Structure 1
Amino acid sequence: MSETKLFSRGRLLWWAALCLLLCGRPVAAQEDWPPASAVRFGTLGAEQIRRIEADGATAFLVLQEGGLVAEFYFGRGAQFRAEPAQGIASSVTALLLGSAIGEGRIGGLEDRAARYLPALAADARDRITLRHLAENGSGLAWLEARDLPRVLNGGVNMKRYMEGFRLDVEPGSRWRAASGDIFLLGMVIESALGKSLAAYASSRLWQPLGLTAAGRTPAWTMDVEGRNTLAACCLHMRPRDFARLGQLVLQQGRWNGKQLVPQRFIEEASSAQVRFDGVSGATLFDGYGLGLWHFTYAGLPGTAMLGEQGQAVFVVPALSLVIVRLGVRGDAAALAFALQAGVSVAATPQK
């Protein structure tokens, strides 16, 4: 066969290498997730793909109406690698809270945390509700820069450490990103259920979502004594797993005809319970719900799960759209561009 023939092995290899260099690696949809109709959707341009990769992304997926519109990976094995979901794990913990409420295992958002963690009942911490924890508004004297590294370094007993915090301000009077609130929330769920958060996630989310295939099940790290799940971090998932979580939120907690998380809880979690007044012009996100972030893009409201290194799962209900961006780094500009790129390939749903 001639070396100059269009489909010679040499030319195929050359084109494959060029594609990897210039535009990342598009991956064909597998049988477990059907592709969307190619006719109805746009495509990402080479410049957009280069920018996404240059911003530090390792994976970029776009879904609309439950079908894959775009799927790109940057770096060898990225589509198979389980990424540590630090931050996005907080959103998963909130979803598990909603599931436990829906099952009647937990009374509701207005329950006092002390009902499940008696050590909090002895002082003013008795006023902390589950809503306060889910909204990052407990008022506890947790400092993210100081306390999170102590927890992540694996040298503390989570229960004793978290029960040692006292109130800094009145519960509900201040919002600030506080992994400690989510760690406590995870402990509440574990106390109410009598099982680890990881075990509950497996039965209520991973199995129904189809994430329990051999070698694929998400792994959630426990504390140094193996008693409490690190609810705000250290959940390892593959890119398509993140996409399924976003699709679950888009579908109002329903999957394959089963309500995994109550619709009412998803609606409340996705709404801005706390507004960032005066900050919305400087950042993409203008509010925080229950473990989920709120944003408005091109006049369309949306919700997001956010993590470290520019991890994000965007959900835009008006477009039936889910966008997943994972990476080794990523600032606010990188997140905004990923959202813009995802929206650019999505068509307005037909009525």
Structure 2
Amino acid sequence: MMRPKQVIFLTVLLSSLVACMTPADNPVPQRDIAAASEALKGATVLDVGLFQPTVTIGDNCTRRPLANDAARIPASVATAVAAAASYSKEQKGVGLVILKDGKILHESYTGDASAATPTDSYSMHKSVLALVYGIAIDEGIIGSLDDRAERYITEWKNDPRGQITLKQLLNMESGLKLYDFSDPDGKSMELLLGADINAVALDYPLADAPGAEFRYNNVNSQVAGIALERALRKNGHDSYADYLNQKLWCPLGNGKADLWLDREGGAPHYFSALFTTPHNWVRIGELIRNEGAFQGKQIVSARWIKAMVQPSSTNPNYGLHTWLGSPYVPKRRYSQQNPLAVIHGAPFLAEDVVFFDGFGGQRVYVVPSRGLTIVRTGQVNFAYDDAKIVNLILDGLVR
């Protein structure tokens, strides 16, 4: 049964689509962005049913269970785990799963949430997109990260934006303009809620020369996704969702997940809105920890995983759609233009921490040198300290 808020959202969305349809020769609808935004107001990470339509992956995958070692952890580690769980809960946590050497040390949820509860991952989808890119490059579907966008996006031929490389898109240094959500042009809200977000993304102008500046920007991921999807279709694949399911999701043994589309049969939000459970995220983290392998099966090349965690030329804390924990920064900024900053109360206690970052406290942390994978989900909260949980566990492991 749908919640009242879901009914309201779908009613508003459908009515806006019907009322604002374009002529028959252009079947893409227009959407009342203000109405759609109002309908989503107050949605939490648990309200994934509000985001419609979606395409489902993972329904037919054969699950690969995770081993559990929680009963045998030393007292010092148990104390550290309890402190980490307590901190996560204090900071509006929803779920916390901690693996050591591929085995679950701890798993806990708050409120009505459970291991079966999907949550909104926000920008953690970006790192999944990067993994899919690696597979596509290994299979020759994408030629190289040095390929220019115009090779895949014909609209940008004979356009300065066509010179942006795929690597610059994944490193968040394309030079494309960053619009904030209060911008009078409304580009950010259109990219989030529009009925043709690919067209919105391809209309973004350049603000700087490609490669000049790090600027964390959802449009980079959307454009990278457009290029990938077009290459996939040219090579006989049905869609990004189908390829993700076939090449990454099912080989990992993951369960159900949903991708939010801009309209029925439309484009995924490549920068966000992959709705799934912590165990599925844990398997993805384990893939990073084991250089592209999971439970002995190579899914992504080790070469690509190493490339993902190489710092970009414009930000030593960012690789290919993946964050790097070193060097230490007390407040991690998304760009010079964005006032949001993430607290890092102390340096990570390991130099090789890498992580996926979802808005306001969604994380997959990986520490290969210590055999750790940690998944943490929670309600949006910018008081959350990014170093706290990881350092509590690392400290407990050395005692």
- TM-score normalized by structure 1? 0.81
Q: Which residue is 1:116 aligned to?
A: 152
In 2 relative to 1, CA 108–259 (structure 1 residues): closer, same or farther, beyond 3 Å?
A: farther
Cα deviation for residue 40 of structure 1 reads: 4.9
Q: Which residue is 1:97 aligned to?
A: 133
Q: Which residue is 1:192 aligned to?
A: 231
Structure 2 stretches lacking a partner, 5+ long: 1-62, 327-347
- Give the conservation status (yes or no) of the 8 Å contact 1:87–1:232: yes
Cα deviation for residue 256 of structure 1 reads: 3.9
Cα deviation for residue 125 of structure 1 reads: 1.0
CA distance in 1, matches of 2:217, 2:122: 12
Matched, 1:150 2:183: no
CA distance in 1, matches of 2:264, 2:112: 35
Secondary structure in structure 1 of the residue aligned to 2:317: strand
Cα deviation for residue 54 of structure 1 reads: 1.1
- Give the conservation status (yes or no) of the 8 Å contact 1:56–1:328: yes
Structure 1 stretches lacking a partner, 5+ long: 1-29, 277-285
In 2 relative to 1, CA 203–31 (structure 1 residues): closer, same or farther, beyond 3 Å?
A: closer
- Give the conservation status (yes or no) of the 8 Å contact 1:57–1:330: no
Match of residue 290, structure 1, among 317, 320, 323: 320
In 2 relative to 1, CA 43–344 (structure 1 residues): closer, same or farther, beyond 3 Å?
A: farther
Cα deviation for residue 38 of structure 1 reads: 4.3
Matched to 2:112, the amino acid is R
Q: Which residue is 1:4 aligned to?
A: none
- TM-score normalized by structure 2? 0.72
CA distance in 2, matches of 1:310, 1:304: 12
Secondary structure in structure 1 of the residue aligned to 2:360: helix
- Give the conservation status (yes or no) of the 8 Å contact 1:55–1:329: no
Cα deviation for residue 225 of structure 1 reads: 5.1
Moved over 3 A (4+): 37-41, 44-49, 344-348
Q: Which residue is 1:219 aligned to?
A: 258
Superposed, which structure 2 residues align to 1:339-350 within 5 Å? 339-346=390-397
- Give the conservation status (yes or no) of the 8 Å contact 2:349–2:391: no
Matched, 1:75 2:72: no
Q: Which residue is 1:313 aligned to?
A: 364
Matched, 1:36 2:66: no
Matched, 1:141 2:184: no
Match of residue 198, structure 2, among 127, 140, 159: 159
Secondary structure in structure 2 of the residue aligned to 1:43: helix
Which stretch of structure 1 is more off in the superposition, 111-120 or 336-345? 336-345
Secondary structure in structure 2 of the residue aligned to 1:122: coil
Structural RMSD (CA): 2.1
- Give the conservation status (yes or no) of the 8 Å contact 1:64–1:346: no
CA distance in 2, matches of 1:102, 1:332: 40
Cα deviation for residue 258 of structure 1 reads: 3.3
Q: Which residue is 1:338 aligned to?
A: 389
Matched, 1:179 2:218: yes
Q: Which residue is 2:48 aligned to?
A: none
- Give the conservation status (yes or no) of the 8 Å contact 2:94–2:113: no
Work out the percentage of aligned pairs sharing the same amino acid. 28
Cα deviation for residue 197 of structure 1 reads: 1.8
Q: Which residue is 1:84 aligned to?
A: 120
Cα deviation for residue 72 of structure 1 reads: 1.2
In 2 relative to 1, CA 258–47 (structure 1 residues): closer, same or farther, beyond 3 Å?
A: closer
- How many residue pairs get aligned? The number is 305
Q: Which residue is 1:5 aligned to?
A: none
CA distance in 2, matches of 1:91, 1:97: 10
